[in-house]
Structure 1
Amino acid sequence: MNAILPGLSRSNSPAGIHTNRFIIALTVTLASVLELLDTSIVNVAVPHMMGSLGATLDEIAWVSTGYVVANVIILPISGWLSGQLGRRNYFALSILIFTVASMACGAAATLESLVFWRIVQGLGGGGLLATAQSTIFETFPVKEMGTAMAIFGMGIMAGPALGPTVGGWLTDAYSWPWIFYINLPLGIAALLLTLVYVPDSAMQQKAAKVDYIGLILLAIGIGALQTMLERGEKNDWFQSTEVVVLALMAFFGLFLFIIHELETRHPIVDLRIMRDGQFNAGLIYAFLTGAALYSTIFMFPVYAQSLMGYNAFQTGMFILPSAIATAIALATTSKLVARGVSAKAVIVLGTIVFCYSMWMHYHFTTQSGAEDFFWPLVLRGLGLGMVFVPLNNLAMSNIAPKDMANASGLYNLTRMLGGSVGIATSATGYNHLLQSQQAHLSEHLATNAPATLQRLTTLKQILIVRGVPESMVNSKAHALLNMQVQKQANMLSFSQLFFWFGIVLACAIPLLLLMRNTKLRQGSMDAH
């Protein structure tokens, strides 16, 4: 085996790891990008899947729900699985499962088989994020950690943003199975690179006993919580028996899980690392950052496509400068923090930039175009990119190297749950705001109001010029006016949501008072 893959023989030597550290970072980032890309790439292909598989919208939703639920169940136990199997073996196995499941998803001929393989794909992909981050923390010396996290951060931030663009292009140019087949060459490349370059952890410890009770409680609690967040808006939240049952399962599952994990000698997730106040503050900030990131990624395409009439590819091209800005911000902030600039100051500045971007989003109108989107989206990317690296560093600075895999799993789970809560809250908030705005605007459109009469007169004149028969002019003018009211209500609802996204992240700034500008602990690379 070593003759075929010569990198294996030196994969755990400090000199070999140090020499290949940037290849290792790119390898684990590539795998993470694949995982995150598939959280959003499916959304734009939903209508095509429904037609091909004969499924309803509610049924096809399980294609996304099953994947994300499997993701969040695996994330917190990825550190334990890494210790049981060995980090390189676990990471390679996760990529292999993800890639094989991707091929099966593309070949699925029924809804049931597609949902099944999406769940398997999610189980494979869920272990990639936390294992990738813990690998980077242990592979790089502290002085280069900012650069390494910048490389990783580019994948974390760009993956969800590029999903709709890539998915839209593949679906339009080829067919929906290609959103899964695209994973095959990239997955194979990531697998081979992992086997050659990714090292085992020098700190990994195999548990003496498998915590089956903790695993079952975690699966019930996290699985029910994520399913509730995915399906709550569709089922009118707590008006639905299904949502109430899921909420109770989530509450009792997680409550019993926490009690059990704190009492057992061999926990599947060691919650004792949460004694560190700095880590806890970082988790909350990561939760709110995830909510801000995923909510804006979710709502801007809805605004651009449903209200402004752009297609998925055009929307993706609007978002592309934001992804580039994020990459620039990640590279820049990593250098600044490495040179001693206060991580807390950079986070505050990034949060302010994001909030200003949301203020610019707040002023979008129904007449906004590409030139109006450019700077708000660029600033959004810059702001979130400035937060990512220093927040990671601060949150993990007190974590012992042996606990890094466990901490990374909890950190990434928290950010993903923040994204799920943000998307669910955005969807619900948008519907409530829309109803409120429609009622408010309708109150000001009394048929005898001078402004309303003037608007109707203008619309009638336009219709007559266009050759509409006089018998239909009046009804069509009222219909057009109602459409304009609907469009304006939509626009006002989007504007207010963007404004609140900024407020939510701004509320996280006081958490920095609980954190100190301490440096990350050195991992296994003390020989550097």
Structure 2
Amino acid sequence: MKALSFLRRGPTSPLEPLHGAALIPIAMAISIANFMQTLDLTIANVAVPTISGDLGVSPDMGTWMLTCFATPLAITLPLTGWLAQRFGQVRLFCVSLALFILTSALCGVAPNFETLLLFRALQGAVSGPLTALSQALLIAVFPAARRNVALAVWQTTTFVAPVLGPIAGGWITDNISWPWIFYINVPTGIAVLLILTRGLAGRDNPTRRLPVDAVGLVLLALTFGSLQLIFDRGQTLDWFSATPIRVLAVICAISFIALVMWELTDEHPIVDLRLFADRNFLAGTVAVTVGFGAYYGALVLVPLWLQTEQGYTATWAGIATAPLGIAGILIAPVIGRIQHRVDPRWFATAALVGWGAASFWRTGFNTEVTIDEIGWNSLLMGAATALFVTPLVSLSIAALPRERLPAASGLQNALRRIGTSTATALAPTYFERRSRVHSTYLIERITPFNRSFSEWFDTLRHAGMSTDGALASIARAVDVQAHMLALNDFSAGCTVLFAATLAVVWATRYRRAERG
């Protein structure tokens, strides 16, 4: 029961920076909690077919398990600031973690698909504050001069978890059983909870009783919920050609406009949009949203291309792109230690130049590209990633007053998630539709009067193929080439987006942190 003492209301001392060895377990515990929550965004993806089969639903219905997690998460992320003011950062974080452990266990024991959807929705809802507050708490407990180290630790867990999620989920599903993708949160979460409740006992930010902005809450749920559903179901329903997607888009647009108007005039808004009046927060958030969106688009598209067009298995696609996570693990802590000596905009510039260079490199890929070249390209992307978030968070959030950190972190993380959701949904759609354009162009060149085609066809026939077999082989080759050109086009677009994000980064002002 001692571990649940954070639930008791009583006098607390301010949440001041920690020093010495006390920092280590607290920083590790907060980072692991963030890692667990971020891992759950992707760990269940590869298990959808297995879970669907075991619980007697179609794989298409099985994807609702992902939607039911992501939609409540997108809604509760921006609520974090209001909840932290009302209940306290430490108390809210610990309660969210305890509920995350409980809902994870419930997901594992769910007897049917409907129950699993309910528990996944609850898991997503309670995990929203974990990401936002993990960032805010690390900034709060680290001395000002060492906050870059804190953010580097946070960044590492945020980047590595989505990369490891599908790998861990696939291995657990194949070698143990799918409920363990949820059960693994339980022992780890309990250990983290014990460390936090002991190490931060009696420490929290001042709280105040705030009225519930019920109108803002409803508008927020409508905006983020409909937007997430558009992203999750758009590809399956062929986007705006489907009536449900058009209806959701209208709901999203109207509720978003109403949300902005209401929150800017309400005395106690549930989402503090006035944060955007700060130039650094506005520019930093735009840069994080756009930059991460383009980065995640490539993160989704390259493994998809490798598996569907280049003949890679899921394992080998993971090996080819694994340097993304490895580079981040190695470089991020180093950057955190030296960043206070350098204008962080230069680190963000190096990241965007690295991302742009890797994207430009991919514009020259062809169907004969080797796994070594893909690995080196992934390494460059991963190395650049390690330089991106920490400097931008330092510029946009760390200089704000402590009491505004949870709200700022929650809002920025919510918008970053929207950016990644947008890219994750739109990148495959662009990939397929652009490939059709290239396929049409290539097919127009294949005629009996084209000497290259005639020689190609004759070679296949002389190799023993039937006429239909030779034509099918040529059609497949055309399809592979069309998708290759589509990936080249996507990479060129990412290069342009990274260049535009670079201009936004330099719209921020550099404020050197005081030592303390």
Band of TM-score, shorter chain = over 0.9
Secondary structure class of the residue paired with 1:55: coil
Alpha carbons of structure 1 residues 227 and 265: separation in structure 2 relative to 1, 3 Å: same
- Cα separation, 1, equivalents of 2:252 and 2:203: 33
How do residues 207-218 of structure 1 correspond to structure 2 at under 5 angstroms? 207-218=209-220
Secondary structure class of the residue paired with 2:79: helix
Alpha carbons of structure 1 residues 99 and 413: separation in structure 2 relative to 1, 3 Å: same
Residue 407 of structure 1 aligns with which residue? 408
Secondary structure class of the residue paired with 2:511: coil
Which deviates the most, 325-334 or 382-391? 325-334
- Cα separation, 1, equivalents of 2:474 and 2:377: 30
Q: Give unpaired runs (5+ residues) of structure 1.
A: 523-527
Which deviates the most, 306-315 or 76-85? 306-315
Contact 1:138 1:201 in 2 (8 A): no
Residue 66 of structure 1 aligns with which residue? 68
- Cα separation, 2, equivalents of 1:173 and 1:196: 36
RMSD: 2.4
Alpha carbons of structure 1 residues 421 and 104: separation in structure 2 relative to 1, 3 Å: same
- Cα separation, 2, equivalents of 1:493 and 1:457: 28
Residue 94 of structure 1 aligns with which residue? 96
Q: Deviations over 1:190-235 (max 9, x none)?
A: 2222222246765443233121221111111111111112212222
Alpha carbons of structure 1 residues 11 and 105: separation in structure 2 relative to 1, 3 Å: farther
Residue 525 of structure 1 aligns with which residue? none
Alpha carbons of structure 1 residues 150 and 262: separation in structure 2 relative to 1, 3 Å: same
Residue 104 (structure 1) shift: 2.1
Match of 1:499 among 489, 492, 496: 492
Residue 16 (structure 1) shift: 5.8
Alpha carbons of structure 1 residues 215 and 497: separation in structure 2 relative to 1, 3 Å: same
Residue 423 of structure 2 aligns with which residue? 422
- Cα separation, 2, equivalents of 1:448 and 1:33: 59
Match of 2:308 among 306, 309, 313: 306
- Cα separation, 2, equivalents of 1:480 and 1:435: 18
Alpha carbons of structure 1 residues 166 and 28: separation in structure 2 relative to 1, 3 Å: same
Alpha carbons of structure 1 residues 507 and 200: separation in structure 2 relative to 1, 3 Å: farther
Match of 2:106 among 104, 107, 111: 104
Secondary structure class of the residue paired with 2:269: coil
Residue 483 of structure 1 aligns with which residue? 476
Q: Deviations over 1:92-115 (max 9, x none)?
A: 221222222222222223221221
Contact 1:286 1:415 in 2 (8 A): yes
Contact 1:401 1:521 in 2 (8 A): no
Residue 276 of structure 2 aligns with which residue? 274
Residue 4 (structure 1) shift: 10
Which deviates the most, 191-200 or 27-36? 191-200
Match of 2:139 among 124, 137, 140: 137
Contact 2:219 2:258 in 1 (8 A): yes
- Cα separation, 2, equivalents of 1:450 and 1:12: 80
Residue 443 of structure 2 aligns with which residue? 442
- Cα separation, 1, equivalents of 2:468 and 2:255: 56
How do residues 167-206 of structure 1 correspond to structure 2 at under 5 angstroms? 167-198=169-200, 202-206=204-208
Match of 2:251 among 231, 249, 256: 249
Match of 1:261 among 249, 260, 263: 263
Alpha carbons of structure 1 residues 201 and 10: separation in structure 2 relative to 1, 3 Å: closer
Secondary structure class of the residue paired with 1:477: helix
Residue 414 (structure 1) shift: 1.1
Residue 387 of structure 1 aligns with which residue? 388
Contact 1:350 1:386 in 2 (8 A): yes
Contact 1:290 1:417 in 2 (8 A): no
Secondary structure class of the residue paired with 2:254: helix
Residue 140 (structure 1) shift: 0.8
Contact 1:11 1:198 in 2 (8 A): no
Contact 1:11 1:197 in 2 (8 A): no
Secondary structure class of the residue paired with 1:514: coil
Alpha carbons of structure 1 residues 257 and 11: separation in structure 2 relative to 1, 3 Å: same
- Cα separation, 2, equivalents of 1:373 and 1:386: 21
Q: Counterpart of 2:372 in structure 1: which amino acid?
A: E
- Cα separation, 2, equivalents of 1:13 and 1:122: 27
Q: Deviations over 1:272-316 (max 9, x none)?
A: 222112211111001112202321221122122222233333332
Residue 15 (structure 1) shift: 7.9
Alpha carbons of structure 1 residues 56 and 423: separation in structure 2 relative to 1, 3 Å: same
Residue 13 (structure 1) shift: 7.5
Residue 324 of structure 1 aligns with which residue? 326
Residue 283 of structure 1 aligns with which residue? 285
Alpha carbons of structure 1 residues 11 and 157: separation in structure 2 relative to 1, 3 Å: farther
Contact 1:321 1:378 in 2 (8 A): yes
**How many residue pairs were aligned?**
513
Residue 368 of structure 2 aligns with which residue? 367
- Cα separation, 1, equivalents of 2:179 and 2:370: 32
Contact 1:396 1:520 in 2 (8 A): no
1:219 equivalent to 2:226? Answer no
Q: Counterpart of 1:317 in structure 2: which amino acid?
A: I
Alpha carbons of structure 1 residues 201 and 518: separation in structure 2 relative to 1, 3 Å: farther
Q: Counterpart of 1:140 in structure 2: which amino acid?
A: F
Residue 336 of structure 2 aligns with which residue? 334
Alpha carbons of structure 1 residues 31 and 441: separation in structure 2 relative to 1, 3 Å: same
- Cα separation, 2, equivalents of 1:508 and 1:92: 36
- Cα separation, 2, equivalents of 1:59 and 1:132: 33
Q: Counterpart of 1:445 in structure 2: which amino acid?
A: I
Residue 391 (structure 1) shift: 0.7
Secondary structure class of the residue paired with 1:419: helix
Match of 1:158 among 140, 157, 160: 160
Alpha carbons of structure 1 residues 16 and 342: separation in structure 2 relative to 1, 3 Å: closer
